[in-house]
């Protein structure tokens, strides 16, 4: 039970970038299959931002073997070489520092297959100096698993970047704000029924209890 109020953050696409990691994991596979079209990565990422799965986006771009490519992509996306491409957003550390000096605790809640890669990223950029707890759950049925943790934590706010994060917030009756700078675009998040959408963390600076 947390004595202070808590702000919970998703990780990928919320506190750190996810675009380059996803693009270059795909590129590593396409190169082996002699599919080398640099503009393809941008088109694929744009489709994913609009709600397409990895496989559906590849099919839409008429890439042969889309399903098998997507399966391999899912297997390698958390490999260390691609984790190195994750970078904190420009406002991440400043905001976490601000929260640390407030009346709030900060928790990271992330769905990952490999805990080690996430922890390496957290220590690489010094997130551990600002975070009170880190919860890592399986990406299988991620929304329900995150909702279970949110029910236990009962946070003041949950911040994420996907419809799955939104579903977890709904299932746990947790206030939610989506960021449109990560996995999903503003237009997609809006179509998913999310009313509170921001493109950065500046809104946290406006909370009297935080600022």
pLDDT tens-digit readout, 131-189: 999 999 999 999 999 999 999 999 999 999 999 999 999 999 999 999 999 999 999 99
CA–CA distance, 131 with 109 (Å, rounded to integer): 11
CATH homologous superfamily of domain 5-17+86-206? HAD superfamily/HAD-like (3.40.50.1000)
CA–CA distance, 74 with 83 (Å, rounded to integer): 13
H helices then E strands: how many in the chain?
A: 10, 6
What are the backbone dihedrals phi and psi of residue 198, each rounded to the nearest 5 degrees, phi first?
-130, 160
What are the backbone dihedrals phi and psi of residue 178, each rounded to the nearest 5 degrees, phi first?
-95, 145
Look at the pTM and tell me if it is higher than 0.85: yes
CA–CA distance, 133 with 191 (Å, rounded to integer): 32
In the chain, domain spans: 5-17+86-206, 19-83
Can you read off the two tokens belonging to residue 7? 């702000």
The pLDDT tens digits of the residues spanning 65-117 come to 999 999 999 999 999 999 999 999 999 999 999 999 888 999 999 999 889 88
């Amino acid at each position: 039970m947390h004595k202070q109020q808590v702000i919970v953050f998703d990780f990928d696409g919320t506190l750190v970038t996810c675009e380059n990691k996803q693009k270059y994991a795909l590129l590593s596979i396409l190169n082996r299959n002699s599919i080398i079209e640099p503009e393809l990565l941008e088109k694929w990422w744009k489709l994913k931002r609009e709600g397409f799965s990895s496989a559906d986006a590849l099919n839409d771009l008429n890439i042969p073997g889309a399903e098998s490519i997507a399966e391999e992509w899912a297997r390698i996306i958390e490999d260390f070489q691609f984790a190195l491409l994750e970078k904190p957003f420009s406002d991440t550390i400043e905001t976490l520092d601000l929260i640390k000096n407030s009346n709030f605790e900060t928790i990271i809640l992330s769905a990952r297959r490999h805990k080690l890669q996430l922890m390496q990223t957290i220590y690489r950029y010094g997130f551990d100096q600002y975070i009170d707890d880190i919860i890592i759950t399986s990406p299988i049925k991620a929304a329900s698993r995150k909702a279970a943790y949110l029910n236990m934590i009962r946070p003041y706010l949950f911040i994420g970047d996907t419809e799955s994060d939104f579903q977890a917030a709904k299932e746990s009756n947790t206030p939610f704000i989506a960021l449109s700078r990560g996995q999903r675009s503003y237009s997609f998040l809006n179509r998913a029924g999310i009313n509170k959408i921001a493109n950065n963390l500046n809104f946290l600076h406006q909370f009297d209890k935080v600022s």
